């Protein structure tokens, strides 16, 4: 439900969504939206597993259209390339801290952080979603 007067956006629809983050996959669950009227009473009851209405929508991270590389050999090669690139960037970042003024190093540090983020979003996670066996242990259970 929402009331955003500045955006003229008001709704009395209730929706329930859930996220299940397993070892190697994130599953988003959604149930149909329900329109409420003033005076309606809503009761929420947590039931044991298996009871209740099934979700109307289930989306699995492993089925995302942005997943990359069906070929495991290519996926491993990409992960190796990214790993080596990340290591070289981190080495250069360390050198920057010693050789650059603090304000320049800070700018470079932010730029490296942005690149590492993009590598994860656009290369690593799309490979991990398709190739669960390649997910490092420290990322298992995280949102992919």
In order, the DSSP letters of 45-74 are -PPPTT-SPPPSEEEEGGG-TT---S-HHH
Can you name the residues that pair with 17 across neighbouring β-strands? 30
Provide the CA 97 distance to its chain's centre, in angstroms: 31
- Cβ–Cβ < 8 Å for 130, 70: yes
Q: Is the confidence at residue 40, as pLDDT, over 80? A: yes
- C-alpha span between 133 and 75 (Å, rounded): 11
32 against 21, higher pLDDT? 32
Can you name the residues that pair with 9 across neighbouring β-strands? 4
Which secondary-structure segment (H or E) carries 127?
A: helix 125-130
Long-range (24+ apart) CB contacts under 8 A made by 120-123 are: 123/68, 123/78, 123/82
Which secondary-structure segment (H or E) carries 88?
A: helix 72-99
pLDDT digits (tens, 9 = 90+) for 94-134: 999 999 999 999 999 999 999 999 999 899 988 988 888 89
Average pLDDT score over residue span 50-70: 82
Global pTM reads 0.56
User: What are the structural domain ranges in the chain?
Assistant: 2-61, 72-139
């Amino acid at each position: 439900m929402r009331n955003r007067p500045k955006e003229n956006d008001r709704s009395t629809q209730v929706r329930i969504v859930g996220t299940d983050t397993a070892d190697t996959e994130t599953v988003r669950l959604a149930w149909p939206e329900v329109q409420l009227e003033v005076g309606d009473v809503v009761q929420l009851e947590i039931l044991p597993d298996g009871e209740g209405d099934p979700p109307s929508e289930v989306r699995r991270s492993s089925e995302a259209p942005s997943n990359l590389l069906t070929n495991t050999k290519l996926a491993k090669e990409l992960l190796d390339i990214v790993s080596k690139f990340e290591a070289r960037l981190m080495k250069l970042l360390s050198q920057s801290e010693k050789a650059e003024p603090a304000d320049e190093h800070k700018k470079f540090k932010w730029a490296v952080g942005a690149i590492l983020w993009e590598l994860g979003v656009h290369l690593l996670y799309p490979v991990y979603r398709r190739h669960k066996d390649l997910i490092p242990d420290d990322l298992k259970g995280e949102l992919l």
